[in-house]
Chains A and B, each alone.
Chain A
Amino acid sequence: MIITAKQLIALSPIFILVLTVVIIMLLIAYDRDHFFTFLCSITGLTFTLLSLYIIRKDIPIDITVLFHIDKYSLLYISMIVLSSIFSCIFSYSYLKKILYNCEEYYLLLLFSTIGCISLIIANHMSIIFIGMELISLPALGLIAYAYFKKNSLEAAFKYMILSGAVSVLALFGIALIYSITGSLTLSSVIYELVTSISSPDNILLCGLGLVILAFSFKLSMFPFHIWTPDVYNGTISIVLTYLSTATKIAVFSLFFKIFIFLTSFNVEFFRTSLEAILCLSIIFGNFMAFFQTSIKRFLGYSSISQFGYFSVSLLSSNDFHFSLEVVGVCLIGYLLSSIGIFGLISIVSSLNNESKSDSITFYRGLFWSNPIFSSIMTIMLLSLSGIPMTIGFIGKFYILSLIVKENFWFLGIIFLIGSIIGMYSYLKIITCLYLKPLDSNSEMIHLNSSHRNHIIFLFIISLIVLLLGVYPNIVIDIASTSEPILFNIIS
């Protein structure tokens, strides 16, 4: 098997990141310098982003049978790299407070990013498995990074055991698929399914079902969401910036790429199970979010419902391009607003006692002491809840259009109920920001200079969120032009 130079160049995002990882390892061995490591990882990630621009001309391209890069992957890789860059930036000032071993944090983050990228460009079941493990093992390290904090180890254990169990099931599923198709490339699996529409093989369905299970675990969809609130609660917020955006977006992009065909070719089994999962996620996520007193748990539950909304796109009957736009726009919106909200929380928690700043009551009356901060937070929360003039609304508009277009009346009602409950729970936090502060809660958030830079970043993000909400053509263009090549194979 010969790999041409073109193919090697196409793999450059991964190579650059691996190179960065190696350099950081050497740096740690030589001399621990936090700032330099930080700079190194940011540079690595930026070069990765730039390399996407270079390989843009060579795509679509197959790299052996394992990888496949197309425009679709480029969009999602850039989203993930962006999320990693922002999590690095927000982490820096928090990690400065931890006086030892803060360099490995970047190492873990970069490893996990490599996992995300390989998952997105995977064209082979083995890479999917490896990618998922490469995401979750470093993520485990990140979750447990602040091991001296309460709940942190608990969260790590929970994540480790559950994710381990799910990985094993996924591996079993992949094996079952292999036993039927004799090949593990995505196209062959899909081909097998498409050719046997009338009576799909039960073992194949079982295998795919197990893989769905693994995916919905990573996306924390309803019956497999149990880990989410606890892990969100125990993890430090800088890690959550990464965990809730990059890993989920990577998994979802693959989930979408594979399963859009299965539901559209009327494999009834997938359709009903997916419908049940997403309806329950929407209702349950929004409903439970309403009762939370900790903002991290709240965001955990709300992310359950968010991915419930996004999965509606998988149910489209034949207009793949529309679903593609739905997913693209929704995920870009989700990325921006999640980075914003977690960035804000991480600023607050790096200034205050972490466990104290988790509770929603901590944010009570924030507007009176720090108006800019709370207006950014308001914009982000409004965007997450899908209020007009924010990018979140455009996503919601797309999902609703899909529901109406395909005449999913039952889903429509679920969506309506879910988003009204969701709106109320977001509103609860927003109102909290504008209440008169309690006397006991007199400490204000004083920002020092480095945090002021973060606030400027976040301010720009919130402006982008508003601008894209008013003029979404750019996002729509990006999302609609980035179609996976698989689409053409099937149609």
Chain B
Amino acid sequence: MLLPIFIIIPFMGGILCWLFDRYGIKISHYIALVLMSIVLMLSISLLFYDLTLVSTNTNKSYWNFEYEVSWIKRFGIMFHLAADGFSILMLILTSILGIISILCSWDTVEDRIGLFYLNLLWILSFSIGIFLSIDLFLFFLFWEMIIFPVYFSIIFWGHRINDARTCLKRYAAANKFFMYSQCSGLILLFSILYLVYSYYASNHILSFNYDLLRSIKLNDFSESCIMLGFFLAFAIKVPIFPFHGWFAEFHTYSPISGALDISSILLKTSVYALLRFNIVLFPNSSSRFAYVFMLLGVITIFYASFVAFSQTDIKRLIAYTSISHTGFILIAIYSANQIAYQGIIIQTIAYAFSTAALYSLVGQLFQYTHTRNMKQMGGLWSNICWIPGFSMFFAAANLGMPGTGNFVGEFMILLGTFNNNVLLSSIVSFSLIISALCSLIMIQRTYFGYSFQYTCKHFIRRISRREMFISISLLVMLILIGLYPNIILNMSESPINNIRTVFSNFILTTRS
């Protein structure tokens, strides 16, 4: 009964925020904050449960927690949630980012606050659903449902300039996101059904259960088809090079406070899904296509960093650099190397933190300068307290400076892939130069140089304690992961290793 609570609390909390909105201005802020803190504490408490459970129980199934209720009997669909260390880590990450995004939107969201928090909490609730659901139908349901709160929050609270043209563009961006996600959803649904009916054809059991479907034996052609379907669906959401069309627009027009970008945790859902479903369900065909996907990853890394380099909008720049980081993750996933797999987890978490921090800083900067265009900024270093310094740190973290979690992740991925693919990993390591250049450009154009507009001393603004808290907590976490990554590695080792062994067995057999 513990697992559904993680989905129900934010879901009901969203409705509460919306209902109690009328009784006070700040009330929904506090409701959202308190509920997400409860979720965070509960998800951290799972870790302690975990240890005791493993020691007492030589568990038959490898899930640490499981919850199962019959749902649609006709298709053998269950309301089936389960969690292992990997899911729990993602759960913790989601709730931390959730709290930060609530804090980010504390002052900046002015109209219909209750509805805003409804959307925000539902995004969190559904992404937690994605991380926990093990029934493929349930997974698909959350995968599709998350589109709506995101869509509505862009439409209602998106980047707003009082100009009819940008308004229409915002709608266009929201529609683009919706359509891309729908395409991804339909492809996913097709592949899931194909998988389920193939299983039905051989075993005469109609079930969407992940644990059952893992054991399926398919012929090469249909396995490749289904695998490509899954991959395509996830690749659109990650996003990977040819399918990234919606991503930059999405970030340009998403709400100013950066709340939504931070909960771009929904990008992490597809990394999770690639690992959890694509690799484990179809190890055979994944290993056959591994080179293609790794190549796609390399293209993504270089393409995204080059495009990022030419951006003038800070937010777009950050968005493109985060696309390039997903390229690293993609390479690591298909390398089937143990060290690289550990790196994925670190990379995912560290980049979630560093980009979240950058987005929140951009949001704060926007309040001050009312622009995101780097050409109109410059010379801000001496005019604002704290923000430039934090930006400097997080930009450095983003380019993978030693001592931060990002370095650990990138290093482990490169080290791991070097073992089985020397050429690719050496090519990829050159991309670090470009990403360093991107970060430097961002800092240099924004904070240094001569400023025409903001030279007056009275612009100096002290950032609030809330903003300080956001930045410092993220900073501390990044350094903590950077200096002592074992906190995460210990937790993720066994589940991620389970996933890897399924896959690497096939890689070994196909290569030898």
Contacts and interface: CB of A to CB of B under 8 A. Distances in A.
Nearest to B201: A405
B186 A412 contact: no
Given A416-B186, A476-B72, A400 B171 contact: no
Contact of A404 (B72, B144, B167, B194): B194
Interface stretch (B174-182, B293-301, B357-365, B403-411): B174-182
19 contacts: A388-B140, A388-B145, A389-B141, A400-B193, A404-B194, A404-B197, A405-B200, A416-B187, A420-B182, A424-B175, A428-B175, A431-B171, A431-B175, A434-B155, A434-B156, A471-B71, A473-B72, A473-B74, A476-B74
A463 B156 CA distance: 24
Interface in A386-403: 387-389, 397, 400-401
A359 B171 CA distance: 20
Nearest to B200: A405
B167 A436 contact: yes
Contacts of A325: 74
Interface string A310-331: 0000000000000001000000
A86 B74 CA distance: 30
B333 interface: no
B197 A405 contact: yes
A416 B200 CA distance: 23
Nearest to B198: A404
Contact of B190 (A389, A416, A423, A472): A416
Contacts of B183: 420
A419 interface: yes
B73 interface: yes
A480 B74 CA distance: 10
Interface string B281-301: 000000000000000000000
A160 interface: no
B190 A431 contact: no
Nearest to A432: B171
Interface string B161-174: 00000010001001
B189 interface: yes
Contacts of A397: 189
B470 to A, nearest CB: 30
Most buried by A among B73, B174, B193: B193
Interface residues of A, number: 26
Contacts of B193: 400-401, 404
Contacts of A412: 190
Contacts of A404: 190, 193-194, 197
Contacts of A476: 72, 74
A419 B187 CA distance: 11
Given A388-B140, A405-B197, A472 B72 contact: yes
Most buried by B among A389, A405, A480: A405
Given A420-B179, A424-B179, A388 B141 contact: yes
A168 interface: no
A419 B183 CA distance: 9
Nearest to A405: B197
A472 B174 CA distance: 30
Given A389-B145, A434-B155, A434-B156, A420 B167 contact: no
A400 B189 contact: yes
Most buried by A among B74, B145, B190: B74
A480 B194 CA distance: 23
Interface in A82-129: none
A360 interface: no
Nearest to A423: B182
A435 interface: yes
Given A431-B175, A476-B72, A476-B74, A420 B144 contact: no
Nearest to B191: A404
Given A388-B144, A480-B74, A427 B190 contact: no
B353 to A, nearest CB: 31
A486 to B, nearest CB: 23
Contacts of A388: 140-141, 144-145
Contacts of A434: 152, 155-156
Interface string A425-463: 001100100111000000000000000000000000000
Most buried by B among A387, A388, A397: A388
Given A388-B140, A388-B141, 15 more contacts: A400-B189, A401-B75, A401-B197, A404-B190, A419-B186, A420-B183, A424-B179, A427-B175, A428-B175, A431-B174, A431-B175, A434-B152, A434-B156, A436-B167, A471-B71
Contacts of B155: 431, 434
Nearest to A389: B145
Nearest to A407: B197
Contacts of B182: 420, 423
A21 B505 CA distance: 75
Nearest to A386: B186
